[in-house]
Homo-oligomer: A and B are copies of this chain.
Amino acid sequence: MALAVKALFFDVFGTLVDWRTSIAREAEAQLKSKAVTLDYFAFADAWRGEYQGAMEEVRAGRIGFCKLDILHRRNLELTLDRFGVSNLSEEEKRALNLAWHRLDAWPDVPTGLARLKRAFVIAPVSNGNISLMVDLARRNGFPWDAILGAEIAGDYKPKPRVYLAAAEALDLKPEACVMVAAHSSDLAAAAALGLRTAHVARPNEHGPGRGETAPTIAVDLAVKSVEELAAKLGV
């Protein structure tokens, strides 16, 4: 596979960063100061649980495209309501919403990406907005060549436009690009357009033992880390 491939596109939430542990940590740090005590992992899961539904409003055309930060904020309001938290100021909610800009990478990611960049153009093709991707990259040392994804395309994965806009931005045919993700649904959408696929197992994404240990569809490569992906691609 390696010879014809020019670019690697990465899903980010779950695939490269451990959103659940990070959001629980950020929620605890900010809510404790407001004397709010709750199950912070349950809070993270509930906030993330609103993710697909909010994007579906855009994908279905019921609302125009907006940055994921805006959808995260809408989902934060729903989640605070559900947990009965009503004493946050506008400024405190704004700060908590930026928790998604402070997620930590799985440990294999920074070194793995640095290896892959030697031989391939690497870019996130995430539903996260550009500023969010920039903040995660600066925090974790992701050496991206460019920030591609939803904001460039004006739509959300798994809509075809997001994958195709990324390939077009690099002047590449889909088959010269590999979508790398921990989610089979993301890879299935990319494969249907002609992209190559690599699955990274993140068995603890949604908590211990709650994540994809292996792809549920046929993929070109299946690995357990970004370091292993680099090794399998010979870099």
Question: B-contacting residues of A (Cβ < 8 Å)?
Answer: 69, 121, 129-131, 133-134, 137-138, 143-148, 151-152, 169-171
Can you list 15 pairs linking A and B with CB atoms under 8 Å apart? A69-B171, A121-B134, A121-B138, A130-B148, A130-B169, A130-B170, A131-B169, A133-B146, A134-B145, A134-B146, A134-B170, A137-B145, A138-B145, A143-B143, A147-B147
CA distance A152 to B169 in the complex (A): 10
Smallest Cβ-Cβ distance to A98: which chain B residue? B171
Q: Known interface pairs A69-B171, A130-B170, A131-B170. Does A146 touch B147 (Cβ–Cβ under 8 Å)?
A: yes
A130 proximity list for chain B (CB < 8 A)? 146, 148, 169-170
- Decide: B146 and A146 in contact? CB cutoff 8 A: yes
A133 proximity list for chain B (CB < 8 A)? 146
A121 proximity list for chain B (CB < 8 A)? 134, 138
CA distance A131 to B148 in the complex (A): 11
